[in-house]
Structure 1
């Protein structure tokens, strides 16, 4: 068997970030395996929004550290040609005078306490930044100028290229069939192209994490969940790159929006989606009832979009845990196994820091942030990381 110091399973944006950080921390004999190609799974379905706004303070810290990477991506990777496709347009979040108002107020105060640049806007100030929207119902408006969106696929391929330059081997179209475990310790992986020996495995398998549960005999709470994304076109009221990403807590679906270039707006719901029985990245059907319902909500905030057309649409699949937050770190009882899964729709924006801390954990280095809140043991102890807005992608 070929021997590697560390094997990473999964070459999405999390796995490639892990690989990059492993070599940056000094690991030289690293193998990354992916069942398809780099970034071809759920990474390619990402909406790409970057923000530090979370109601879970631990997530704010992960996002803050990650933002500094996205903001200076080429220099961080040591590759002047690297790009994450960053558009720094800001992030605006709005609540009406309803059950979301006080949770939003508490979350914004928490962000300020953690040193996040943040402004509170009145309706007129919000209108100046987002002239195509109306704010008649807005009771509280937060604005994060250091935010925006980027390209998850481009980020993953850039991480992968930098990792390869640092000596990492990435093998695509290789299926991992099982872990090789002896006396409670990882000793290798068995794959469709043979076995590889290693004393350390980092699993970033995303929606395929239930396979890991089968290999280890452990319960790893996770449910794949499909979400629909619409791109609406409205020449009369273009959503330009200068307008902020927008989160509408006043809408029934807690909709999020961003510019999609030209006259197009990208929009999707921020609530629980369609439960899937098995992992599946194939495109799902988007019912017309869904389109009509979301369209009606869009028109309440953006009146010109009442007659907007659908330019395109797609579906993406989240790897959802019971509290909509990830499991990070060592899996108790199996020496040499580190996991990163269950990002529940916000893995991309956390990927630089998550990749670094998982690499630190696997190499036995000091870890930049505490992994205890993200331990799998929280599901047994009840110390969940459920966000203030309820279940959904703004944890």
Structure 2
């Protein structure tokens, strides 16, 4: 079996290491610039839902849900998943697309259904639904915690023999004749037969050290955590809402996490970015979300969180080898969806590394698809998909 180096100890790198160890990999080393989950994974909104417009994404999410719901049995750690249900609201003119997508999700095995405005008000009486023609509802969806999931995966991997080097920044890949032989770090070289990059927004510069350029852009995002409204929680259900261009979910200790759909990309440095959201932006998000959940207008702002998405051109991940470079696998470009699919992606990359049969087909996510002109275009994609 190969000696494998996993770069990155976020939810992806830690999941890959866990699955490599579980599948009997002989020698696995994880190298991370910080500690497990201290990068963007610890800033994740950590929403778990099945509603996607591209079938392979649905299958990755559905497979991962089984991990999250059975965390003690799968990973040997305390439960990490909190069920709250999930609603997807799209513009009225896209309601037929939503119905098609729910049909596809159901065919994959997801517990999803199309609901009416009245149904939505039955679930969340305090919301506004006058613009809703149809919405998608998943009663078994929920959320977790990115830092905890990364730490759990990695600690279990270490129990199974994985070596771990925290606070060790990788500066470059080591290449010899088109073959990656290891990584150069601040603490010296680490050599192996295969390198797996699970480095999110830091992936592109690392690939540049061996002459590879994948189209990954850094996108800055701001999230607000709101207190409960005076009359109690404003929302018990998670939601992605095209009508207000916001997403939100309850927080485990009370209150609500609220985020925006998009953020700026120009001049974003993943090592130096604002650590707190700007007040005008938070106020704007709250005002928009309050059009769906009026009680949010009375909810105070408890704190803010910022982070960086590693965006691909089609907002889907890049998984697998890169043409022209041997000894290298990539798991990057997750575009904000990484947490909810990290268990299944970790297993898929481990299977690929060990040349085992693939449990799920991830070939559509090849990093080479953009150079080949094969960007992912879902058959029933939304305008803001």
SS class of match (1:101): helix
What is residue 144 of structure 2 aligned with on the other side? Answer: 150
What is residue 43 of structure 2 aligned with on the other side? Answer: 45
2: CA distance, partners of 1:33 / 1:262: 33
From 221, 244, 266, the counterpart of 2:237: 244
Please list the CA deviations of residues 249-273 of structure 1 after superposition, one character each: whole Å capped at 9, or x if unmatched.
222x2x1111124551111112354
Please list the CA deviations of residues 266-312 of structure 1 after superposition, one character each: whole Å capped at 9, or x if unmatched.
11112354444432364345333322321221221111222322111
More off after superposition, 56-65 vs 211-220 = 211-220
What is residue 271 of structure 1 aligned with on the other side? Answer: 262
Where in structure 1 are there 5+ consecutive unaligned residues? none
Residue correspondence of structure 1 range 319-330 to structure 2 within 5 A:
319-330=310-321
Residue correspondence of structure 1 range 253-332 to structure 2 within 5 A:
253=245, 255-261=246-252, 263-280=254-271, 282-284=273-275, 286-332=277-323
2: CA distance, partners of 1:286 / 1:308: 17
* TM-score for the superposition, normalised by structure 2: 0.94
SS class of match (1:368): coil
2: CA distance, partners of 1:149 / 1:105: 24
Contact 2:228 2:234 in 1 (8 A): no
CA positional deviation for 1:221: 0.7
Contact 2:322 2:368 in 1 (8 A): no
- Is structure 2 residue 160 aligned with structure 1 residue 160? no
More off after superposition, 372-381 vs 337-346 = 372-381
* TM-score for the superposition, normalised by structure 1: 0.92
More off after superposition, 203-212 vs 341-350 = 203-212
More off after superposition, 114-123 vs 50-59 = 114-123
1: CA distance, partners of 2:164 / 2:234: 37
From 326, 335, 341, the counterpart of 1:350: 341
- Is structure 2 residue 215 aligned with structure 1 residue 221? yes
Please list the CA deviations of residues 317-362 of structure 1 after superposition, one character each: whole Å capped at 9, or x if unmatched.
1000111111000112211101000001010001001111111111
- Is structure 2 residue 357 aligned with structure 1 residue 366? yes
Distance 1:163-1:314 versus aligned 2 partners, 3 A rule: same
What is residue 117 of structure 2 aligned with on the other side? Answer: 123
Contact 2:237 2:249 in 1 (8 A): yes
Computed over aligned residues only, the root mean square deviation of the Cα atoms, in angstroms, reads: 2.0
Distance 1:30-1:19 versus aligned 2 partners, 3 A rule: same
What is residue 200 of structure 1 aligned with on the other side? Answer: 194
2: CA distance, partners of 1:42 / 1:364: 29
2: CA distance, partners of 1:69 / 1:341: 21
Number of matched pairs: 383
What is residue 175 of structure 2 aligned with on the other side? Answer: 181
CA positional deviation for 1:67: 0.6
1: CA distance, partners of 2:354 / 2:199: 19
2: CA distance, partners of 1:237 / 1:101: 32
Where in structure 2 are there 5+ consecutive unaligned residues? none
- Runs (4+) of structure 1 exceeding 6 A deviation are none
